[in-house]
Chain A
Amino acid sequence: MSLWSRIVNVFHGDRLNREIEEELESHLAEAVAQGRDPQEARRALGRAVQQQQQSHDVKVVGWVDALRADLIFGWRQLRRNKVTSVAAILSLALPIGACTSAFRLIDALLLRPLPVAHPEQLYVLSRQGTGFDNKPGEWDSWAYPDFQLMRAAAKDQAELIALSYADRADVTYKTTAETEKATLQYVSGSMFSTFAIQPALGRLFTDKDDREVGAAPYVVLSYDYWARRFGRDSHVLRRSVNIGGAAYQVIGVSEKKFTGTEPGTVIDLFVPVMMHRFALRSDATWLRTLAIVPPDVAVEPLRAKLAAVDHAFESDRLRGETGLAPETLRNVLDNRLRMEPAPAGVSGTQKEYRHALVAIGVLVMMVLLIACANVANLMTAQAAARGREMALRVSLGAGRRRLVQMVLMESALLAFPAAAGGAVFAWWSAPFVVSMINPPDNPVRLILPADWKVLGFGLALTLVVVLLFGLLPALRASSVRPSVILKGGDDPHSRQRLMNAMIAVQVAFCFLVLFIAGLFVATFHRLSNQPTGFSTDRILLLETTARPAQSSVSWDQVAQQLRSVPGVERVSQAGWALLNGFGWNDAIAVNSGPLTVNLAYFLNVSPGWLETMKIPLLSGRDFLENDTYPEAAIVNQTFARTFLNDENPVGRSFEKTADDGKRERLVVVGVARDADYSSIRDPMLPVVFVPFHHRDQGAPVDEGTFIVRTSSPNPLALASTLRREVSRARSPFYVSTVRTQLELKQAQTIRERLLATLAFFFGAVALLLAGVGLYGVLNYSVQQREREIGIRLALGAQLSHVIRQVAVGISLAVIVGAFAGLVLGLASQRFVQSLLYQVNATDVGVVALPWLMILVVLSIAAIPAILRAIQVDPVTMLRAD
């Protein structure tokens, strides 16, 4: 009989007994048939019941039987204390679910290997050092010619794959009027075969698609996009699609499991890398390089070899560079090439959310610990109440192990429903958190599988939780000395000490959670309330494309047409909207001096743009219709301070280097107040506004943004009208994206909002749990001491003195806990520093607020216990027992 069948036997005890009975009956019948006297045969069977019991014992494993008994007994215990049991289960379910959810997110974004062949052999190439803007950093972007040289150099040792950054592109299947967005990635032709990705339909790219620029106008759809956009229609093959003005043909659909190499983004369309418009540009870095290094190749020599190739390429390229200061060029060439393992892929989402997710994971873990401490206290209190039962069990011969098993079983009975509840919470909350990362038009899409890994984590977590809150009470419960307890007295102080320690732990973690939550909330508050220097009020942004590119005069005509639309107050033009992440920077030279190491940032704008954005002009004038680039310039205060010594800048001039290497001279006609340029987090940048119109009137412009101020408070109400109006005004124009300036500003604080929201929520939960925990412990300790209090009062003690007696231990625990929490908080601050903005952990408010909140909540939690202590009536108390 296998162990399994024995365990099964435990639950089929009745059937088993029947079987044995039947066998014995059959025996009896046989005996009678053989001519034996029925009476005698039955007597021979004799103590049938006992025999049956013996046989049954053989058939079942003793401890499993005991387990079943514990299960039933534990269930009854929990049902007897319904309210506390439900409270315990709920208070555990939420943190267990939150931890599982955090694990799911961290696993999906950072840990899970890509579903490709040998993800462990993947490395990502990057450069670390000083950038062209003279700021330290690390970049993983490469130019394609550089990539080609490195790939050739590494050929015998490793496979190199080029992958562009996933980007939202305008895609058209029929007419330009039906332009839609799709996530596009340019990839090396060898990617699919190297990753061992199979086509779900048609064919995938090969090396042949990489040979010539523009020779492979093909796209491969991702399975997800094929299913979502085309309903898995196999007729999609050979369909033509227009991407960025060029015609492509659909040649295949990739395997279902492969969604790209950027966790947080699901690719819709793959395009051969040689179709990129910058494929031959040495000065445009637009792709990531992944290396697949077989296990028998040493990484460091390979890295050194690639670094040498890259260095040669860069020094060759920068030799003729006249637009940058020599110091900048030296710094850039000193950058170090790095090769980092990337089994889980590489993405901007990873970079942005790595620390944030880990921080949230740690926070919810602390909330879980608080909940565990709560339930442990609950169990300890219950164990105290059941002291006599335990003592009785021991005196009847129950072993210590048996008692531990019994109490642990009760813990498990609490933990498993909690885990089930937590699973539901995790199932819901992980996608919910992902949905909160929703930059306009490009929300994060994270594949969140619920597989054995997540299940295993949940189970392991539950077991740890059972041990955390169950083991200590179980050991205590099992160490009862019957002689003491059955006499009627126990030393409640030792138990009290344990509970006080738990309270200290709770307060410490609670303080820590609140402290960190406070830092996050303050960061979000500072960032979103910080003045940007311009107005986001009623501003609608029409990011517009002209195919073919049109002269700036045509752009003006479209703007004019938009001004006639009812509900439109003002229309201006700019190269792009502030804060959308774009930037154009250049070194400049003042007074024909050397080129600056610090760069200036440029933006081309139409006359009236400053007024539309409500950026005040401090001196000089706005652009006029006949101002052109490169001639007139409006600079901001930071520019004036950085480059022009803050003297009255109007009328002064400076130079920058044009693409052809010649110097262009710009004359300052006005000074504008500082406003954020591409990020609300960066320090103010030195910005130069230049006219939208180029000196060469016919110079074609293919992309620009109409900045529209509407009269209605909801600018998006006009979105579709204006979108139509742009294409109606002149047919080559179409609006690629409509956003509001407010959305762009809010997009800058998505991570901070997420952190603040989650931290605030869990801070509140932690506070609630700590309050409930303290209430429970205080209540219990008063209850335990009612007799003692009664005696003291009867002997003439002051009530306040008695209360102090009860409160002193717990107050001490609270103080110790809060102090420990503070120390932990200050120590942990540097781990979250990168997530903070202008918030300092030593700020009085950040430290005092958690203190205050804990104090208030604990005071409220203490009131019922104090009331109970006050109401102790010495006479009643002394009569009892």
Chain B
Amino acid sequence: MAKPDSLQGSLDLLVLKILSRRPGLHGYAIMAAVGELSGDVLRAEEGSLYPALHRMEEAGWIRAEWIRKDTGRRARIYELTAAGRKQLAAEEARWHTATSAVNRILRTV
């Protein structure tokens, strides 16, 4: 199954949603969470995840912080900002509108 493109523009929404539930995740944990929560159906590619994180950080939706983990290695963890919460609500609404429209089409045709 060709997974990389299966997220199709919903990556931002997923990342925001995950961070709203579990603030303070690093990149790998976010990637793992996408897989875990979707029952391994969805997969966030590293190649799209990090640019997306940096882009959202630049847009001010999330903020990053370096922490030192027990292993001694530094990790960059992310959490939602107020603007991010607003963005999440908007994206969620858009997603519901879109999916219900798609569903309607699937049902009627």
Contacts and interface: CB of A to CB of B under 8 A. Distances in A.
A51 B52 CA distance: 11
B92 to A, nearest CB: 24
A51 B50 contact: yes
Interface in B46-75: 46-47, 50-51, 54-55, 57-58, 60, 71, 73-75
Interface string A1-40: 1000010000000000001101111110111011000000
B76 A54 contact: no
A45 interface: yes
Contacts of A34: 28, 32
B26 A51 contact: no
Interface in A612-646: none
B73 A26 contact: yes
Contacts of B46: 24, 27, 44-46, 51
B26 A26 contact: yes
B50 A24 contact: yes
Nearest to B56: A58
A30 B50 contact: no
B74 A22 contact: yes
Q: Which of B57, B71, B75 has the most CB of A within 10 A?
A: B75
A59 interface: yes
A54 B58 CA distance: 13
Contacts of A54: 51
B29 interface: yes
A315 interface: no
B24 interface: no
Given A45-B46, A58-B58, A26 B51 contact: no
Interface in B8-66: 26-29, 32, 45-47, 50-51, 54-55, 57-58, 60
A4 to B, nearest CB: 13
Interface size class of B (residues with CB under 8 A): 20 to 34
Given A46-B46, A58-B58, A27 B51 contact: no
Contacts of B73: 25-26, 29
Contact of B26 (A6, A30, A55): A30
A235 interface: no
A26 B29 CA distance: 11
B66 to A, nearest CB: 8
A155 interface: no
Contacts of A228: none
Interface of B, secondary structure class, is helix
B27 A23 contact: yes
B1 to A, nearest CB: 16
A20 B46 CA distance: 13
Contacts of B58: 1, 6, 58-59
A47 interface: yes
Contacts of A20: 50, 54
Q: Which of A23, A33, A44, A59 has the most CB of B within 10 A?
A: A23
B60 to A, nearest CB: 7
A468 to B, nearest CB: 38
Interface residues of A, number: 24
B28 A31 contact: yes
B68 to A, nearest CB: 11
A55 B50 CA distance: 7
Contacts of B54: 20, 55, 58-59
B71 A29 contact: yes
A55 B28 CA distance: 16
Contact of A26 (B32, B55, B60, B74): B74
Interface string A578-594: 00000000000000000
A484 B74 CA distance: 57
A1 B26 contact: no
A51 B47 contact: yes
Contacts of A22: 74, 76
Interface string A40-72: 000011110001001100110000000000000
A306 to B, nearest CB: 63
A18 to B, nearest CB: 11
A31 B55 CA distance: 23
Contact of B76 (A23, A33, A47, A51): A23
Contacts of A58: 51, 54-55, 58
Contact of A30 (B29, B45, B51): B29
Nearest to B64: A23
B76 to A, nearest CB: 5
Nearest to B49: A27
A30 B70 CA distance: 12
Interface string B66-89: 000001011110000000000000
B28 A27 contact: yes
Contacts of A1: 57-58, 60
Contacts of B29: 30
A115 B102 CA distance: 72
A580 B76 CA distance: 83
Contacts of B28: 26-27, 30-31, 34
Contacts of B74: 22, 26
A46 B45 CA distance: 10
Contact of B50 (A6, A23, A33): A23
Contact of A27 (B26, B45, B55, B57): B26
Nearest to A56: B54
A370 B45 CA distance: 62
Contacts of A24: 46, 50
B47 A26 contact: no
A21 B39 CA distance: 30
Contacts of B60: 1
A46 B51 CA distance: 14
Contacts of A51: 46-47, 50-51
A34 B36 CA distance: 13
A29 B28 CA distance: 9
A30 B47 contact: no
Contacts of B27: 23, 26-27
Contacts of A44: 45-46
A41 to B, nearest CB: 9
A35 B47 CA distance: 20
Contacts of A46: 46-47
Contacts of A30: 26, 28-29, 75
Contacts of B55: 58
B27 to A, nearest CB: 5
Contacts of A59: 54, 58
B61 to A, nearest CB: 11
Nearest to A30: B28
B71 A47 contact: no
A54 B60 CA distance: 18
B49 to A, nearest CB: 9
Q: Which of B26, B50, B71 has the most CB of A within 10 A?
A: B50
B76 A26 contact: yes
A157 B80 CA distance: 63
A46 B58 CA distance: 24
Nearest to A2: B60
B90 to A, nearest CB: 20
A26 B32 CA distance: 14
A58 B54 CA distance: 7
Nearest to A5: B58
Nearest to B27: A27
A690 B4 CA distance: 115
Contacts of B57: 1
11 contacts: A20-B54, A22-B74, A23-B76, A26-B28, A26-B74, A27-B26, A27-B46, A27-B50, A45-B47, A55-B50, A59-B58
Given A55-B50, A58-B58, 8 more contacts: A26-B73, A26-B75, A27-B27, A27-B46, A45-B47, A54-B51, A58-B54, A58-B55
The 9 closest A-B pairs by CB, nearest first: A30-B28, A55-B54, A23-B76, A1-B58, A27-B28, A26-B75, A54-B51, A58-B54, A27-B27
